[in-house]
Structure 1
Amino acid sequence: MTARYDTVAAAGESRSDLLDLPALWAAIKAKKLWIIGPTLAALGLSFAAVNVIPPRYTGQAQLLLQSRDSYYTRPGQSSDNSGQQFDAEGVQSQVQVIMSRDLAREAIKRIGLVGNPEFDSGAGALGALKKVGVLLGIGAHPADRSPEERVLEKYYDRLLVFPVGRSRIVAVEFTSQDPALAAKGANEIAAAYLDMEEAAKQDTARSASSWLSTTIEPLRRKLAESEAKVEEFRSRHGLLVGANNTTITAQQLADLSTQLSAARNQQAESQAKASIIRDAIKAGRTFEIPDVANNELVRRLVEQRVNLRAQIALESRNLLSEHPRIKELNAQLADLEGQIRAAAERAVRTLENEAKIAGQRVESVTAALDGQKKTASGANDDEVQLRALEREARTQREQLEQYMLRYREALARDAQNATPADARVISRAVEPTAPSFPKKLPTMVVATLATFLVTLAAVVSRELLNGGTPAPAEDAPRRKMRARAEPQMEASEEDEQGAAKAAPARRERIAGLLTHGGRVGQLHLDVADPESAAADLAACINKPSEGHAPLVVVLDGAEPGEALPRALALLLSERSRCILVDLASDSRDRAGFSELLAGEAMFSDIITREPDSRLHEIAPGRAGRAAVLAASDIVDVALDALCETYDWVLVAATSTDEAEALAPLLGRAQGALVMAGHVGNGHAVEAAYRLTDLTGAAIALVMVDAPETIEVAMPDKEPAPA
């Protein structure tokens, strides 16, 4: 009992230079009047202030910014672009327009703020204090400024214009001691803004119509001059326009080209017919020629030849070829044949003559066409100049037409109500019933709370700066630790009497271990609050990687027969998914981790569940714990799979295991726990500090049976994690 208490007391004395909260609380209670007095005074003053200050009321009107041009008032009846000109910057611009000085002067006149004592400093007689200030030159006399200028400052103090959220709605708020005046002010400011926007549009239309009226007449004269130049140039250079809007020279050139083509076609056709007829005459196929066959003389000659041949055939039956009658008939037939050939020759000569005539016509038309080409080429330069004059006249005509259209539109929009403002009132201000200032309850609460915090901070700061902490060695933390240790002393009094002879040696050994680099701390896990126990345990281990559960190696450093790792796992399983890989026992009565490593079983075959709990457990297996600890590479893969599935993965080992066997597990673990059972367990302390040489992770002595957390810290070392 004595050894246990002295160890805790020594650790408590090493923290005498830290902040003493009980002593600070005692100092605050000792000076509570310095805190309560100013706080009550602030409460009273704020109560008096909020009841003395005249209340102010706020009226709010809301405007929606949107284009209000209709189909009939929109210039040129263009497509609707409602709201496109009011982006975030456009809304802020309209807010500044509402707050402009010109609109403010108009609104002051409409609301009637001049002469109102609340806004006009020149209303009524000057007070004694103001007169003294004017005489001393501290302030200006109200009569030195215009009435609107006197009201402007108070006007802007009571005016608030802001856009409502991410929208095109602008809120106009006006504050006054008179609720009716507050509502009237907000409505009149909104109305003045709409009137100003309509007047600005009318001024724009009026200025546009004025400018257009002074521009249209000179442009009309320039157009008349340009058109006169076009006509004069056309007549002077003979560039008269005929059908199809083409010049006469171009038309003549086209006609000559058409005549030349027709003459050439006729010449070629006559020559071809004459050639064909001559070939037919030579071949004796005169009657196959249409022009010869259709000749009336040839047709009669052919009929006579047919009759003569018929007579010759008739006479040849009775007469011989040398008969005078036969000879006469043959002579007549030969004469008819000669007449037929002569007729064909005449047709050929006629076609040849037509071909010659067509050739002469081609030559004459070609000569005329060449002359017309020279004339047309000479007129090209004139036509280029003519087209330039026509283009200039056409441009001026189009410009004049556009100006005339815009002028008529501007005249139409200059009329009243033809150009509505790009905004409309969607919510008119109504007379408020509740004051907007002062807010009585919030003001009193804020003033009282602020005074309380300031006075409390002043008392705490003074106490800390003066170093006002209890000096005796038997201070509050030490007394508190003694009170915490007393239940354990009474509960284990018989055990301590048995170990009284070994107390000096154990105390010396534990004190030496607790100065080993300050890396081992003590942690109490409250069995009544599993969620808090899990949070405390997570705070004293290294943070695992994303998506993995913390892997914690748990050594049973308590007395033999105490299954504290299993108790810790059961505690964590009540609020989270926890699995205990039991490598502390050497039970071989069922399949376990060794079968998984050998490929003889899967996780579903070796994971068992504790009765009446949510704890999952994996046994060492039939090959024993030694076989599992020897296959560190395969164990890492299996533990990674478990860390991806569970919230906590606890690997139970014994404090007597060799360093070579525990090193692979401790190398990848986020923390190591040694189950101590009680504070004076020297065996657990020795096991914990033996781990400092095997891992860089956090190491903690865990007690699950102590009523409260007991932290151990060494002189000139960092405090142990709690």
Structure 2
Amino acid sequence: MEAPEHRLPSGAAGFASGLVAPPVGSGADKVDVKRLAQTLWRQKWLILGITAVLWLPAVLLINSMTPLYSASTVVVIDPHPNRVINIPSVSEPMGIYQDTVNTEVEILRSRDLARRVVEALNLGQEPEYAATAAKPGPLTPLLEDGRALLIDVVGALPEPLSAMLTPPPRPAAPTGDAAEMESARLIDAFQKNLRISPGVQSRAIRITVEAKDPQLAARAANAVADAYIAIQVEAKRNATQRASEWLQSRLDELRQDMTATGRAAVEAMRSETGMVKGRDAPLVNEEMSALNAQLAEARSAHANAQARLRQLQAVRPGDPESLVGADIGGDPLITGLRQRQAALSAQLAELRAQYGDRHPALTRPAAELRDLNASLATEVDRVVRGLRGEVEQQVARIQDLSRRLEGLRTESFDTLQADVRLRELQRQADASDDNYRRAVTRLKETQVLQALEMTPDVRIVSSSSVPTGPVGPGKTVLAGLAAVVCGAIATGIALVRTMGQRGVYSSHQVEALLGLPAVGIVPLLGRTKRGRNAESARDPYAETGGSDFAEAVWRLCARLRLVRTGAETATAKGGEVIMLTSSVAGEGKTTLAVALSAFLADAGRRVVVVDCDTRRPAVHRLLGNGRPPKGLTDLLGGDATLDQVLHLDERRRVAVIAAGRLVDRPQTLLGSQAMLSLLVELSERYDVIVLDTPPVLSVSDALILAPLADRILYVVRWARTASSLAGAGIRQVRQVGGRVSGAVLSMVNAREHANLEYGARPPGGRSYRLRRIA
């Protein structure tokens, strides 16, 4: 007998040809915000519970926090202080630069300033700065014992491995002066509460101190500003004192230097070289200057005398016009003669014009003019002789002055190098005198500055006052933040819990993860209500209509097209073999197989259930008829006939073939020709043959029977069976040629599944359950 062919017509496996499970990787990297929100909404009670558990201790801790008070003092850099006296300071005032403000901020944050404040306020006596003894934790002894045990164990190992695994030694306790350590601790604690904030685009610096005591906060802020100003004043005073001491030590050196290179050395050099200094220059130079002046004067006088001589030598005594322009040296006699000559010449010219050249009136004036010309010629000759003597004197003087000047020039050339040395000594003497005078002047100025009170380059514009209210911690804000953090932690736990669930929860996951259509969703079969009769309480399958379980089984039958209507005819080749299997045990496949058979029988189909799980048979227990003496293994082994092992449940009108006796190798019987013949014979007698098989991943029985079934329903327990296990079982069934028609989610929590599948609770309204007719 040959194996029966697949009896489902094309496209009639209960699904349309286009109904295919979506690929697993399609859109897998996208975040579905709506589904994420639905997931969080389903876990709302878990999230709220975890949030409450975490938030209540946080609120108690926040309420136990001590309030903090903040006080601020504002100082401003003032680089132009008012001066009482106009004496330049030793340390120049700071400029208005960005790096100047940053430098002052670092000074305010320095440990030296913090130490001054700690000592000024005696912070060691304040309660919040008091030292607390370090107490060992509750786990310290246990950790110490574990460390000692680890060292003992590692010491027994070989040397290279022991060196690698030996824990590092504990750091040594700090050693030193207890007072210094206490001071360092107080400084660190104070600096943690100190805030220095430079102003934006300004020269203001805000000093803020936080403390649990408001009065301490105000005093500390003011103390920081006072210490900062005191540091500036002290720095200026120290600089002035150091400058004064240095100038005092330099005065002796400058005095000795002035003695060695002063005016005495210059005069000694003058005396040694014979370079006597005149009023404004050396004596030789002054004499040369005087001789040059005399020589120039003599040459000028000589030139003037020669010019006068030449003019007088050209005078003609009888010609009055020749005397015009001649320099006669202001002689009064010649001047009078020239005036008389001019008058007589004019008189003769007038008489000639009136009487002619031969008139007797011209004789006397002409004789007087001749006598006058002779006297004028005599006087001119006298003046010429005087000018010649003067010229000769000037020439002699010029020659004498030239000889003397040449001698001085020779003497000046010989003393040129001595003059250079003398000038160098003069410059050194002047520099020494100037340095000494400057040092003495600056020493007196620094002594005056040291006597005066130094003015700092900063000033306080706003002193801190006692704060009226705390600035922190903001308990309301912290409580809200703690609620947000606790909620985030609870949400993360819920998401991790959801991600850690490996089961299948909805038909979407069935199609996406397993690659099979979800042919049915069967709810968990709960306990029967007390109002029902004893038969219903004993048999949960007695009522095939009205309950959620019954509706789910009927829906499964309808999707598999197992319920025949009047318009449909039976197939020509007889009954259809339907195999139910699962990945592991306890997934409800036997319950579903019995329920499916009972409901199909109630619909008028001829149904037989074959219990193929010979190791753990359960069909007879669910039907309540007790275990028959003979079953499937007896039939396949040849110890019984079909009629002997076939039992009819009169109540459900379902034929049952029990598992039979236990055998060592049921795989041999299930894969034999007898099993194939049995299925062929059953298909001739019944419309539906339901095979209840063992789990695929537990034993190989289901894989042997898979090729013989017309369709296979793979049962997956809701929220329990991991998708990896279900996928592995389905792949094995397909590898042996099994025709898996779809997957059935069993033992489903209806309400939770509704949330998972649709994101909301089932809508309210009237129930569609059937009402019983009285």
Work out the CA distance in 2 between the residues paired with 1:110 and 1:279: 113
Does 2:507 correspond to 1:472? yes
Aligned-partner Cα distance in 1 for 2:470–2:338: 136
Query: Which of 92, 95, 99 lines up with 1:84 in the alignment?
Result: 95
CA positional deviation for 1:266: 1.8
Task: Pick the aligned partner of 2:402 from 344, 351, 366.
Answer: 366
Alpha-carbon offset, residue 441 of structure 1:
0.9
Decide which of 69, 82, 85 is 1:57's aligned counterpart: 69
Preserved CA contact (<8 Å) 1:46 1:443? no
1:149 to 147, 166, 184: 184
Give the equivalent residue in structure 2 for 1:175.
210
Secondary structure of 1:189's aligned partner: helix
Q: Aligned partners of 1:192, 1:301: CA distance in 2, in Å?
A: 107
The residue type equivalent to 1:361 in the other structure is R
Shift of 1:199: 0.9
Aligned-partner Cα distance in 1 for 2:333–2:247 = 85
Local SS of the residue matching 1:291 = coil
Question: TM-score scaled to structure 2, two decimals?
Answer: 0.50
Verify: 1:100 aligned to 2:110, yes or no.
yes
Question: Which whole-Å CA distance do the structure 1 matches of 2:335 and 2:458 have between them?
Answer: 103
Residues 42 and 451 in structure 1, CA contact (< 8 A), matched pair in contact too: yes
Shift of 1:9: 8.3
| Distance in 1, Cα, partners of 2:504 & 2:86 | 83
**Helix, strand or coil for the counterpart of 2:82?**
coil
1:115 corresponds, among 112, 121, 125, to 125
Correspondence 1:32 to 2:49: no
Gaps of 5+ in 1: 1-5, 315-320, 322-326, 480-722
Check the 8 A contact 1:24/1:460 in 2, yes or no. Answer: no
- C-alpha displacement at 1:60, in angstroms? 1.9
Q: Distance in 2 between matches of 1:416 and 1:296?
A: 88
Of stretches 298-307 and 174-183 in structure 1, the one that deviates more from structure 2 is 298-307
- Provide the rounded CA distance (Å) in 2 between the counterparts of 1:416 and 1:168: 27
Give yes or no for contact 1:298–1:340 (8 Å, CA) kept in 2. Answer: no
Separation in 1 of the partners of 2:195 and 2:62?
22
Structure 1 residue identity aligned to 2:289: A
- Give the SS at the match of 2:123: coil
**2:178 partner letter:** D
- 1:17: how far off? 5.1
SS at match of 2:72: strand
Aligned partners of 1:12 and 1:451: how far apart in 2?
Answer: 38
Give the aligned residue type for 1:445: G
Residue 223 (structure 2) aligned to one of 188, 197, 200: 188
- The residue type paired with residue 253 of structure 1 is M
Equivalent position SS for 2:464: coil
Judging changes above 3 Å, is the alpha-carbon distance between structure 1 residues 73 and 438 closer, same or farther for their aligned structure 2 residues? farther
Q: CA RMSD in A?
A: 4.7
Q: 2:83 corresponds to which residue?
A: 71
Alignment match of 1:46 (pick from 51, 58, 65): 58
**What is the Cα deviation at residue 465 of structure 1?**
6.0
Partner of 1:350: 386
Amino acid in structure 2 at the alignment position of 1:203: N
Alignment correspondent of 1:463: 498
One-letter amino acid of the counterpart of residue 65, structure 2: I
Asked if the contact 2:71–2:464 (Cα under 8 Å) also holds between the matched residues in 1, the reply is yes
Post-superposition Cα deviations, 1:215-271, rounded to whole Å, max 9, x if no partner, equal 12321332243221122223433433434x223222221221121122112222222
Shift of 1:423: 1.5
| Cα separation, 1, equivalents of 2:72 and 2:338 | 123
Instruction: For 1:195-234, list aligned pairs within 5 A.
Output: 195-225=230-260, 226-234=262-270
Task: In structure 2, give the amino acid aligned to 1:218.
Answer: E
Unaligned runs of 5+ in 2: 1-15, 145-169, 352-357, 519-774
- Does the 8 Å CA contact 2:269/2:422 hold for their aligned counterparts? yes
| Cα distance in 1 between the residues matched to 2:446 and 2:186 | 38
Q: Does 1:423 align with 2:458?
A: yes
Q: Which residue of 2 aligns with 1:657?
A: none
Counterpart residue type for residue 174 of structure 1: V
- 1:105-163 Cα distance to aligned partner (Å, 9 max, x none): 221121121233421317xxx58759x99999986799834442342332222222232
Question: Is 1:254 aligned to residue 264 of structure 2?
Answer: no
Aligned residue in 1 for 2:473? 438
Q: Distance in 2 between matches of 1:184 and 1:444?
A: 31
For each residue in 1:656-702, what CA deviation from the matched residue of structure 2 results, as whole angstroms up to 9, or x when unmatched?
xxxxxxxxxxxxxxxxxxxxxxxxxxxxxxxxxxxxxxxxxxxxxxx
Per the TM alignment, residue 13 of structure 1 is displaced from its structure 2 partner at its CA by: 8.6
Q: 1:14 to 1:254 in 2, by over 3 A?
A: same
Go from structure 1 to structure 2 and tell me whether the alpha carbon gap of 1:408 and 1:9 turns closer, same or farther (over 3 Å shift): farther
Is the 1:67–1:423 Cα contact (8 Å) retained in structure 2? Answer: yes
For 1:346-389, what per-residue CA distance to the aligned partner results, in whole angstroms no more than 9, with x for missing partners? Answer: 33222112111111111111111222222233333332222211
In 2, Cα distance between equivalents of 1:378 and 1:23: 116
- The separation in 1 between residues aligned to 2:68 and 2:339, in whole angstroms, is 135
Q: Could you tell me how far apart the structure 2 residues matched to 1:108 and 1:177 are?
A: 16
Answer with 1 or 2: which has the greater Rg: 2
The equivalent residue for 2:636 is none
Alignment CA distance shift 1:165-1:329 (3 Å): closer
Residue in structure 2 matching 1:277, options 306, 312, 316: 312
**Deviation of residue 392 (structure 1)?**
1.4
Q: What amino acid is aligned across from residue 100 of structure 1 in structure 2? A: S
Question: Which residue among 446, 449, 473 is the counterpart of 1:410?
Answer: 446
Change (3 A) 1:304 1:385: closer
8 Å CA contact 2:337, 2:372 repeated in 1:
no
Partner of 1:555: none
Name whichever of 291-300 and 426-435 sits farther off.
291-300
* 1:434-486 Cα deviation digits (max 9, x unpaired): 2233220111111110121232234334534657775426999999xxxxxxx
Looking at structure 1, the residues matched to 254 and 95 of structure 2 have their Cα atoms a distance apart, in angstroms, of 35
Q: How does 1:469-618 map to 2 (within 5 A)?
A: 471-472=506-507
Question: Following the alignment from structure 2 to structure 1, what is the Cα–Cα distance between the partners of residues 71 and 343?
Answer: 129
Aligned to 1:574: none
Determine if contact 1:257/1:369 at 8 Å carries over to the other structure. Answer: yes
Q: In the superposition, relative to structure 1, how do residues 450 and 355 fare at CA in structure 2: closer, same or farther (>3 Å)?
A: same
Match of 1:383 in 2: 419
Does structure 1 retain, via aligned residues, the 8 Å contact 2:22–2:511? no
Alpha-carbon shift at residue 212 of structure 1 (Å): 0.7
Letter in 2 for 1:233: M
- Identical amino acids, percent of aligned pairs: 21
SS at match of 2:459: strand
2:317–2:377 Cα contact (<8 Å) kept: no
TM-score, with structure 1 as normaliser: 0.54
